[in-house]
A and B are shown apart, each in its own frame.
Chain A
Amino acid sequence: DTGVSQNPRHKITKRGQNVTFRCDPISEHNRLYWYRQTLGQGPEFLTYFQNEAQLEKSRLLSDRFSAERPKGSFSTLEIQRTEQGDSAMYLCASSLGGDFDTQYFGPGTRLTVL
């Protein structure tokens, strides 16, 4: 069990550029979650996958955001036409599912949009 990993750890981009983040969950975890955390706030839910199916999306996930989990393993989160308001820490979590489920978080990707 190597934990949830995220790449890159830091990303600096210019406004209007596209960025993509990757999350590798704990092996055999079939649920994967994306959260966004801005300075001084708690994480906010963005979206959730059960295997390769995206089952829930927050209203925070505008049409510039897209997430995929093509083979039910790793996931990518893409932001198109980035804005300064997208600057945040993007956290990924995974879980086994079932009763009393626990989400395990990765270290996050910090995005800075200039």
Chain B
Amino acid sequence: AQSVTQLGSHVSVSEGALVLLRCNYSSSVPPYLFWYVQYPNQGLQLLLKYTSAATLVKGINGFEAEFKKSETSFHLTKPSAHMSDAAEYFCAVNLPSSEKLTFGTGTRLTIIP
């Protein structure tokens, strides 16, 4: 079975500060990993995905994530937070043999002016 744990349901950072959102996964085989962002009353937008190529993945809006097999982690980072980054972020895992995504419970990011 596959699962995802997101540490910290709420994260607050100052504008211009580093953003770090944590995601750990559990999977019996090497998974595909995704980060999605959800703005209020909207659907999910793909930020980036890991599919077993480069371990450092760059996404949209200046976000990136690093796949660390030894730590079973896929943390999301952004060097400098912007007010427009305020949203809910979801980490998701998908086994290569499966079609469904399994999501974490989400992290709400607040940006302090």
**Contact across chains for B103 and A105 when beta carbons are under 8 A apart:** no
- Given the known A-B contacts A41-B106, A43-B101, A55-B99, are A105 and B43 also in contact in the complex, defined by CB atoms under 8 Å? yes
Return the CB mask of A22-57 against B: 1 if under 8 Å, else 0: 000000000101010000111111001000000110
Q: Answer whether residue B45 sits at the interface, using C-beta atoms and an 8 A cutoff.
A: yes
Q: Which of A66-74, A76-84, A96-104 contacts B (4 or more CB under 8 A)?
A: A96-104
Q: Does B46 contact A (CB under 8 A)?
A: yes
Contact A31 B51 (CB under 8 A): no
Q: Are B99 and A31 in contact (CB under 8 A)?
A: yes
A42 touches B103 (CB 8 A): yes
Interface set, chain B 1-55, CB cutoff 8 A to A: 4, 9, 32, 34, 36, 41-46, 49, 51
Alpha-carbon distance between A12 and B41 when the two chains are bound, in angstroms = 16
Does B43 contact A108, Cβ atoms closer than 8 Å? yes
Q: 0/1 per residue, B87-113, Cβ < 8 Å to A?
A: 000101000000111111110000000
Given A31-B99, A45-B102, A48-B99, A105 and B36 contact (CB-CB distance below 8 Å): yes
B-side interface size class: 20 to 34
The 8 Å CB contact of A91, one of B43, B99, B102, is: B43
With A33-B99, A45-B100, A56-B100 already in contact, the answer to whether A104 and B46 are too (CB < 8 A) is yes
A106 CB contacts on chain B under 8 angstroms: 43
The smallest beta-carbon distance between B49 and chain A, in angstroms, is 6
* Nearest residue, chain A, Cβ from B100: A45
Residues of B near A105 (CB, < 8 A) are 36, 43-45
Interface size range of chain A in the complex:
20 to 34
Rounded to whole angstroms, the CA-CA distance of A44 and B102 in the bound complex is 7
Other A-B pairs, 11, CB within 8 Å; known A105-B45, A107-B41: A35-B101, A41-B106, A42-B4, A42-B90, A42-B105, A43-B44, A45-B102, A58-B100, A103-B46, A105-B36, A110-B41
23 of the cross-chain contacts (CB-CB < 8 Å) are A31-B99, A40-B9, A40-B105, A42-B90, A42-B92, A42-B103, A42-B104, A42-B105, A43-B44, A44-B103, A55-B99, A58-B100, A91-B44, A100-B32, A100-B49, A101-B99, A102-B34, A103-B101, A104-B46, A105-B43, A105-B44, A107-B43, A110-B41
